[in-house]
Amino acid sequence: MQNLQVFDSTTLNQLKHEAQNSPRQRANLNVHNSYTDLVQRLFIAMYPDSYVRPHRHIQMHKWEFFMVVEGSIELLFFDESAVLTERITLDADGDCKAIEIPPNTWHATVCHTPVVFMEVKQGPYEINEDKGFATWAPEEGTPEVKNFLARLKNASRGTCFSTAMG
């Protein structure tokens, strides 16, 4: 057999350990060989203090697929006016385990407990063309992130974030 890649509990535990010790409170394990690959596949471990700035994938042919392996994660979706339109929970032990997000869809992720999920998206990955970040959300690493993340975690559908930076 040719170079099988096995992703066992030891591998995922190591990834969670890396995430826990990372300033960003998340870590990824790329399964793909290169950012130029036509399919990007990665495992991501994330802890509750990890902030994923709301964004959309601006290349109109690039979708994104998430599947939870351990724990649970919430995906938050927003309209063009920065209104939270949907919260979907993916849970390894629950009914909904995976989702595919169409291109140009505003979204963010939050978790309340540690989670490991798999992300699959179309490549190649081009850092300057992959994401369009929401101007109404603070940049990662800024002092406003802590309160904004708490607001994301507790927001109900219909909450408007357009004044969140004001």
Domain CATH number, residue 108: 2.60.120.10
Question: CA-to-CA distance for 46 and 93, rounded, in angstroms?
Answer: 17
Distance from the Cα of residue 51 to its chain's centroid: 9
- Ranking 35-39, 63-67, 107-111 by mean pLDDT, the lowest is 35-39
Residue 163 lies in a domain: no
The total domain count for the chain is: 1
Mean pLDDT, the chain, as a whole number?
92
Residue 161 lies in a domain: no
Question: CA-to-CA distance for 83 and 87, rounded, in angstroms?
Answer: 12
- Does the pTM surpass 0.85? The reply is yes
Residue 1 lies in a domain: no
